[in-house]
Structure formats: structure tokens, C-alpha cells
Structure 1
Amino acid sequence: MQHEKDTAIIDTGSTVRRWITYVAGIYILTLGLSLAIRAGIGISPQSSLTRTMTLVLPPLSQGTFNLILEVIMLILTFLISRRAFKARNLLSMVPALVLALLLDFNLMITESIHLEPYVANLVLLFFADAMLALGLFLMIRANLVLMPIDLFVNTIQQKTGRKWGNIKTVFDCTLLALSASIGLIFLGAPHFIREGTIINAILVGQYVKLYFYLHEKYTARKAAAPVVAEPVAE
């Protein structure tokens, strides 16, 4: 999650507050993911891969497959950069486990959502992406532990010197190709890859930018607010 971000957005408050923000961000993110799935018009590359796997191996939940993917990314990070790999990187599995549990929980509580009109599903996807981006924003603001996937992307960036955004794009396209291939091989056709996948790729980044902008405006307005002096007791 180490994007090209403005350091002014980072919360420098107490560790407890930052962890609360981080966990809240994970919950909001997984709720956004769940609603995007319920919209039924396409989801993000990572979600499309793990969602496709639930059709290939139905006994396992999407949260479980998401956790498996995170474990694979952590192993790859270790193999690519053994010398730079720190024991504390193993802590990234803690939020990954929390995310997996919350994703399954939110998929359960949104299971009854079935919208018929296409426009309604489109509106739901726009709202879901806004929530997903808000979750990302809160996690970035907390600035605590990287998820294994983001740790992997960061490691590739450090090894190659390429721009983080470009590497993330290649990574997402790879997951999308895997999702489509698995769908073709085991299910006869790709699943969960539609126009919503493209909308998600565009909207989430723009929403995050919007939250950064609103936070900067709020911070600037707060700093410019006049300080009211307390009355002096006689």
C-alpha cells in the first residue's frame, strides 16, 4: 500500500487510534468488495480470481482463497528478496487474516442483495467502489502494516526501480489473466470479468484522490480557523 502518497495524510497520533483506523479501513474495504460482488457486473482483478476459485472449489470461501493468495505473495516476496526479508514482514499475515474473516462476514450479510435493473446495479457498483476506496484511504492514513500483496509489489518495485503504479498495473493484469484462464479451463468461460472490472480500475483510484483532496481541504480549513482565547478569570 505504499503508493506515491502525500506524507501529510499520514496519522501521527497514538498507535491505538491508528490501529482502530486500520481495522475500520479493512472492514469498510471488505464491505465495498462484497457490495461490488453483489452488483454482479464485474469486480476487481484480485476479487475476480478469488471469486472464480470459489466456483472451482465450492467448499472453500472467498476469504479463504484471498488468504491463500496473500500467503503465496508473502512466500514469493521471501524468495525474491531473502536478504531484505525481515521477520516483522510475517506480521502482514495478521491484517490479511482479519481481511479474510471480514470479507466472508460481509459476503454473508449482503447475500440477500439482488438488484434487477442494470442501472441499479451500476449505482451499487459506484457506491461499492467509493466504500472500497474509503477503506484503502483509511488504511493508508493509519500507515501500519502492509498486506502481503502490497509488500510483494513494493519488493518488485525496489528490485526493478520501476514506478509503483506501473508494477501494480502489470500485477493486476496478471491476476486478471489468471482469473480468465482458470475460468476457461475449469468453468468453460471467464467469470466476474465485465464492464464493472474496468469501472473499478478507474473509479477506485479517483475516489482515493478525492478523499486525499477532501482531507487536505479539511486540514487546511482547520489550521486557518481562528483560535478563540479563553476568558481570563478576574
Structure 2
Amino acid sequence: MLYDKDEGVVDTGNKVRRWITYVAGIYVLTLGLSLAIRAGIGISPQSSLTRTMTLVFPGLTQGNFNLILEIIMLVLTFLVWPRAFKPAHLLSIIPALVLALLLDFNLAVTSWIHIGPYPAKVVLLVFADAMLALGLFLMIRANLVLMPIDLFVNTIQRKTGWKWGNIKTVFDCTLLALSASIGLALLGAPHFIREGTIINAILVGQYVRLYFFLFKRYSTRTAVSPG
């Protein structure tokens, strides 16, 4: 999904188990996103844009805007490479809808969290990023449907041959620029883009790599243990 498929991590077995893992991953990911928002010191590029839009149009939730963004990405995926677009890609809207619903649910569940001391905010963000990365790891392991945003980035990579990481970086920077521009134009200042945005960009990838390493190490020990 977000990293090269690894035979030592990706589950290719029972589909029921994989779907359970996938949905669990979405839930953990949205919980991590919600906690990162509650930390209040900056969030990921994608979340900063959708969160900013809730200030511009307060009648819609962040889950609503996240789903809108995913639909836009699905349309762009088709426009970038119509011949490579398959009817099955439309199924990516289903997990995007589940993610939107769970995001709004977890934002409601965590609405009571208000942290004052700055060090505590940093600790909460670090923990939130660990949760977010765990959700990503579970979704990668399930090896099922790509979210529209990931499908868009993958399509660009396949069509151009550019490195996936470089495309994702440009994509994230574009979302940040949109978030900042909308904040400046309509709200007087950028919102939700702070030091936590940089922390998120650094930690999430490292956490996912750590989970890959730990899972493979655990699997190896289990495979060689007697009985």
C-alpha cells in the first residue's frame, strides 16, 4: 500500500482474517489521527487540509471532507491514466467511506481531551503517530483495497516511472500548500500546520518500518521455535 510489499509481512491467506485486519487498521489509524488533532501542535498534510476545510465550512465534518478528498483523488486517477483505470478501483470508495465514518466517530470520542502543558502535547502526538503508523501497518499487512489517495500516487508512479517516495512528497507538499493558502485567504492565517506536522512526517514512516522489523523478527522466532 504505502511501502513495497514484503512477503514476510503481507498476509496472503484467509480473506476474512485479512478484512478484519484491514478494518481494524482503519480504526486504529483514525484513532491516531484524532489523537494527533487533540495534541494541538500540528497534524499531517492531508489532515491539515481537511481540518482547515471544517473551519471554512463548519457544517461539514472532517470525515465528510476526507471522503470528498478521496473521491477527488479517484477522479484524478481516472483522468491521469484512463486506460489503466479498472471498474474494481471504484471499490476503493467503500474503505474511504468507512474511514470517514470512523474518523468522525473517534473525533467525537476524543473530544474531551484538552491538554495544556506543551511537553504533554508532544508526548500525545508521539503516541498518536505510533497509533497512526500501526493502523497503516495493519492495512498494509491485510493487502486488500488501496485507498483512492494511494491509488492516485501509485498510478502516477506507474505512468511516469518516478520514485514513489518523491511523488508522495510532492503530493503532501501540495496539500500543505493548499491548506496554508486556504487558511491565509479565508481564515486570516494557516491553521494546523506547526512543528507537529514535521514530527508526523518523520515519525510515521519510522514507526511503520519498526513494526515491519518487529513483525518479521517475531515471525522468524515463531518459525524456528520447537513444537
The TM-score with structure 2 as length reference comes to: 0.99
- Matched-pair contact (CA < 8 Å) for 1:3–1:165: no
- Matched-pair contact (CA < 8 Å) for 1:180–1:191: yes
Cα distance per residue 1:59-110 (max 9 Å; x no partner): 0000000000000000000111111100000000000000000000000000
1:2: Cα distance to partner?
Answer: 4.2
- 1:107 corresponds in structure 2 to 107
Q: Aligned partners of 2:5, 2:115: CA distance in 1, in Å? A: 36
- 2:225 corresponds in structure 1 to 225
Q: Aligned partners of 2:39, 2:201: CA distance in 1, in Å? A: 15
Partner SS, residue 13 of structure 1: coil
Are 1:118 and 2:149 an aligned pair?
A: no
Amino acid corresponding to residue 58 of structure 2 in structure 1: P
Amino acid corresponding to residue 214 of structure 2 in structure 1: L
Amino acid corresponding to residue 138 of structure 2 in structure 1: L
- 2:151 corresponds in structure 1 to 151
**Superposed counterparts of 1:1-234, under 5 Å:** 1-227=1-227
Q: Identity of aligned pairs, percent?
A: 78
Aligned length: 227
Q: Aligned partners of 1:94, 1:199: CA distance in 2, in Å? A: 30
1:4: Cα distance to partner?
Answer: 2.2
Q: Aligned partners of 2:110, 2:220: CA distance in 1, in Å? A: 38
Larger Rg: 1
- Matched-pair contact (CA < 8 Å) for 1:132–1:204: yes
Question: CA 1:172 to 1:161, structure 2 compared with 1: closer, same or farther past 3 Å?
Answer: same
Q: Aligned partners of 1:121, 1:57: CA distance in 2, in Å? A: 27
- 1:231 corresponds in structure 2 to none
Unpaired stretches in structure 2, ≥5 consecutive residues: none
Cα distance per residue 1:170-221 (max 9 Å; x no partner): 1000000000000000001000000000000000000000000100110010
The TM-score with structure 1 as length reference comes to: 0.96
Q: Aligned partners of 2:207, 2:140: CA distance in 1, in Å? A: 14
- Matched-pair contact (CA < 8 Å) for 1:42–1:195: yes
1:13: Cα distance to partner?
Answer: 1.9
Amino acid corresponding to residue 64 of structure 2 in structure 1: T
1:7: Cα distance to partner?
Answer: 2.5
Q: Report the aligned-residue RMSD.
A: 0.7
Unpaired stretches in structure 1, ≥5 consecutive residues: 228-234
Q: Aligned partners of 1:217, 1:144: CA distance in 2, in Å? A: 23
Amino acid corresponding to residue 173 of structure 2 in structure 1: C
